[in-house]
Structure 1
Amino acid sequence: MHAAHASVPHLLVIGGGFAGLWATRALARAPLRITLLDRSNHHLFQPLLYQVATAGLSAPDIAAPLRHILRGQGNVQVRLGEAAAIDAQARTVTLADGSVLDFDYLLLATGATHAYFGNDAWAAHAPGLKSLDDALHLRRRLLLAFERAESCDDPAERAAWLSFAIVGGGPTGVELAGTLAEIARHTLKNEFRNIDPAAARVRLVEAGPRVLATFPATLSDKARRQLERLGVEVSVGVPVTGIDAGGYRLGEEYVAARTVVWAAGVAASPLARALGVPLDRAGRVPVEADLSVPGYPHVFVAGDLAAVSRTDGSAVPGVAPAAKQMGRHVAAAMRARLRGRQAGAFAYRDFGNLATIGRMAAVVDLHGFRISGLLAWWFWLAAHVFFLIGFRNRLVVLLNWAWAYWSYQRAARIILGRDHDQAPPL
């Protein structure tokens, strides 16, 4: 039976990230049947994903099953699956397994993926960080690099295994670089016999003139100095022009490096193309003031997939607070629709920027209130722990961070699986 014929309207939410989950939870008492569709069974706290990649936290610390989160919300059904096609006019979504879901209203919130600026061949050699699978794969690569260097007799090859490059000087790149330098210089100290992990070269590469470009220049400069004190080599103003299995090319210089991490760009989920509406250059959907799709008032887009402008003409950034606010706004718009009223316009409330660099080092910009160093680090830690879903997650993260602070140890340094492309020769 078509959802439109049911006594209660059916809302299909595609994506269990910040936008999709916050919209779903805000509609707990709405007269709706809600289906939350996601290809993963969990909600991920993405701002701490780099902590899993660098062995500071384990996967369950920053993720929780969607069914568990929504277990008390009777108007929601969670479905595991991947959307393959959308017919906005017929109000149907076809899944990858061929099944079809009908809807009265649709919220598309499938987020963003990696963007290699037309150089998709680099993806095989420079993995990005968007999912738990990405984080576990990257953690394996990082830890295996030291193991390969330990068993390598050739000095040049050993140096290549101990050369790490993070491409992209945004918050993710800065956090990864600082943490990796800390691992090399402190966590792994005295654990190897043939190499000195502290000799590892950790390089942060940013094509623009400075790291953390969305922060004020003063904080950007402080972040760079803090990175350099941690042992990170910061390269700005020169783009990466090539990446292969042996290393990367920075301008005209080729650098042998077995581990390159991509943190330089994102693109909207390709599912946006299934709507058949005009997209912006990043593949996002330009939406109406209430976050609905032009020509399809029953379809909403939120989170990283939505192209939304602020009153000053600047774009709403693709960050977790913005996605949460969009999700809540879609819920308010849905409630207004159900009452036969016009939904109001979305207005993004910017609380500021913050990024951690390493142990006791961070930068915070709260609209003119700017701090760096230890105080900023405590602020960053408190903010991220506060916004984690679930008391258990908060407690575990606090305990793990306390242990890492006092011991320099990282509790999740277990190499899982087999990385065939990094396996030593037989």
Structure 2
Amino acid sequence: MHSEIVIVGGGAGGLELACKLGRKLGPQRVLLVDSRLYHIWKPSLHEVAAGTLDVHQEGLSYQMLAHDNGFTYVYGPMTALDAGACQLSVGAIRDGVGDDAEVLLPERRIGFERLVLAVGSVSNYFGVPGAAEHTISLNATEDAERFRLTLLKLLARAELSKDSRPDAGIGIVIIGGGATGVELAAELREASGVYATYGFRRLQALRDVRITLLEGAPRILAPLPEKVAAAALALLHERAIMVAADTRVAAIDAAGVTVADGGVYPADIVVWAAGIKAPDWLATLGLPTARGGQIEVEATLAVRGFPHIFALGDCAACLGVDGKPVPPRAQAAHQQADYLLRALLQLGRGKAAPDQPYRYRDYGSLVSFGQGSSVGSLMGSLKGLSWFVDGLAARLMYVSLHLLHHRAVLGGRRTVLLALARFLIKRSTPLVKLH
């Protein structure tokens, strides 16, 4: 198998790049490799975990997207790279585990002229004892679904225990006060009230679903303006969510979280949202990597020393024009995909790659607080100028970001129809997924 352009990773940036290239070049020249069968916009995983978004309705099939956008899709994980021979390996897909597992798809080798790595990130546990074994991270759809099913089981158990233990409830500890942790805490509080109306009527959400957010920095949402963080903190307190800033985690076990001062936070579920890193297997590819494991790239997003290989998104160690690392945000991946779209089309025409380096533009940040509100800041065209936004207006802006991503991979008309269909479905189905 051979393709002119091979993209590994169907996240926000990789999928948008594959769709836009495919519509211009066709399936014979553009190929996408991903280890999953369907795509979920990663910033919405906290909604999947809370049950307010159904992954089976939200998920977009890569096979469908490939057909509709004119690229070839290969299912499986990338396992090896021969950069000199311009060839990569995709692992076999098996039904089951062990020696008796049936091989559904064999190992495959794919040749390429240009390769784009867009494989995202995984959790960084920073060596905290028990973190990997006793926490759930929202890196992928299966993580969010595992959290949701665990939450349902614990809610059912607490409901049944009310006769013998009137104080029965569940404890949820979220480690990390960045956007993911804050959004999950707010979404869970909203969802817990909805669950109470769907069969868990003996549970009082504010009292029996105890949510704690731990943050090692002096305040939550440390990268965002202090006004945004203060507004977010106030909204969390209004929702009876306990926030402990300047609190460093020392260890995690099945009973809960122990912090540096010796205090213990009991927990039935612990979520790790305290940091990310590049997947470890990137270090085995023979490409230059930074201290955090990301692939080192030039200002043109080409891998250092490998002008025919590129990287974008969370897995790329990319410096902005100010010399600071480009933050691991969806807007950065979107911008990098558009930059590489122009560069790869130009290379495909036999012309030199653009000399102009990639330039990250920060348009601000929005943090969701459930289905009705958000807070954030919008960046102006003048350096240092920003506007604070909150409430319904901020929520509508937050939703529009998801719709813009859908427009990039589905087109404008289908995005409008999909948004309308989901609005109608929500009026005829439970507000949370109950199975």
Q: Smaller-chain TM-score range?
A: 0.7 to 0.9
Q: 1:362 aligns with which of 332, 353, 374?
A: 374
What is the deviation of 1:158?
A: 6.3
| Pair 1:309–1:403, CA change in 2 (3 A) | farther
In structure 2, the residue corresponding to 1:104 is in which secondary structure?
strand
Question: Counterpart of 1:89?
Answer: 84
Match of 2:434 in 1: 413
Match 2:186 to one of 178, 181, 202 = 178
Give the alignment of 1:283-298 within 5 angstroms.
283-298=293-308
Aligned to 2:52: 56
How many residues were matched structurally?
402
Q: Deviations over 1:358-388 (max 9, x none)?
A: 3533212112111123332233234334433
2:390 maps to amino acid: S
Question: Contact (CA 8 Å) 1:386, 1:394: kept in 2 or not?
Answer: no
Match of 1:380 in 2: 398
Which residue, 70, 74, 82 being the options, matches 1:79? 74
Deviations 1:149-175 (A, max 9, x none): 22337988965x511111111111111
Taking a change above 3 Å as real, the CA distance of residues 212 and 157 of structure 1, as seen in their structure-2 partners, is: farther
> How much has 1:288 moved relative to structure 2?
1.0
Give the CA deviation at 1:69: 1.6
2:365 to 346, 353, 363: 353
Are 2:40 and 1:44 equivalent residues in the alignment?
yes
Give the counterpart letter for 2:85 in structure 1: A
Change (3 A) 1:245 1:331: same
Instruction: Determine if the alignment matches structure 1 residue 204 to structure 2 residue 213.
Output: yes
Checking the alignment, whether the CA contact within 8 Å between 1:189 and 1:198 is kept in structure 2 is no
The answer to whether the 8 A contact 1:128-1:262 is kept is yes
1:334, CA displacement in angstroms? 1.5
Letter in 2 for 1:24: A
TM-score, normalised with respect to structure 1: 0.87
CA drift of 1:279 comes to: 1.6
**C-alpha distance in structure 2 between counterparts of 1:334 and 1:373, whole Å:** 40
Change beyond 3 A, Cα 1:229–1:141: same
Q: Is the 8 A contact 2:178 2:221 kept in 1?
A: yes
- 1:328-360 Cα deviation digits (max 9, x unpaired): 222222222232313232112221100112353
Deviation of residue 281 (structure 1)? 2.4
Report if the CA contact (8 A) 2:129-2:251 is conserved. no
Shift of 1:25: 2.2
SS of corresponding position for 2:291: coil
Matched residues in 2 for 1:158 and 1:93: separation? 56
1:213 and 2:222 aligned = yes
Query: Matched residues in 1 for 2:214 and 2:425: separation?
Result: 29
Cα distance in structure 2, aligned partners of 1:250 and 1:401: 41
Q: Percent identity?
A: 30
Q: Does 1:165 align with 2:173?
A: yes
CA, structure 1 residues 189+111, in 2 after alignment: closer, same or farther (shift >3 Å)?
same
Instruction: Tell me: higher relative CO, structure 1 or 2? Use CA pairs within 8 A at least 6 residues apart.
Output: 1
Return 271-280 or 205-214, whichever deviates more.
271-280
Q: Distance in 2 between matches of 1:256 and 1:297?
A: 51
8 Å CA contact 2:221–2:229 kept in 1: the answer is: yes
CA 1:153–1:54: 2 relative to 1, 3 Å: closer
Question: For each residue in 1:63-92, what CA deviation from the matched residue of structure 2 results, as whole angstroms up to 9, or x when unmatched?
Answer: 201121221344x21110111111111211
Instruction: List runs of 5+ in structure 2 lacking aligned partners.
Output: 93-106, 380-385
Aligned to 1:11: 5
CA, structure 1 residues 193+411, in 2 after alignment: closer, same or farther (shift >3 Å)? closer
State the distance in 1 between where 2:403 and 2:68 align: 23
Q: Does 1:337 align with 2:347?
A: yes
Note if 1:234 corresponds to 2:229.
Answer: no
Q: Is 1:66 matched up with 2:71? A: no
Per-residue CA deviation, residues 49-73 of structure 1 (Å, 9 max, x unaligned), is: 1111111111134320112122134
Q: Is the 8 A contact 1:146 1:197 kept in 2?
A: no
8 Å Cα contact 1:56-1:400 kept in structure 2: no
> 1:237 Cα deviation (Å)?
0.4
Which of 103, 120, 126 is equivalent to 1:117?
A: 126
1:308 aligns with 2:322: no
Contact 1:364 1:370 in 2 (8 A): yes
| C-alpha distance 101-383 of structure 1, shift in aligned 2 (>3 A) | closer
Q: Is the partner of 1:29 in helix, strand or coil?
A: helix
The TM-score, its normalising length taken from structure 2, stands at: 0.85
Select 2:274's aligned residue among 264, 271, 292: 264
Partners of 1:49 and 1:62 within 8 A in 2? no
Gaps of 5+ in 1: 4-8, 415-426
Q: What SS is found at the alignment partner of 1:316?
A: coil
Change (3 A) 1:385 1:10: closer
Name the Cα RMSD after superposition: 2.5
Separation in 2, partners of 1:386, 1:334: 22
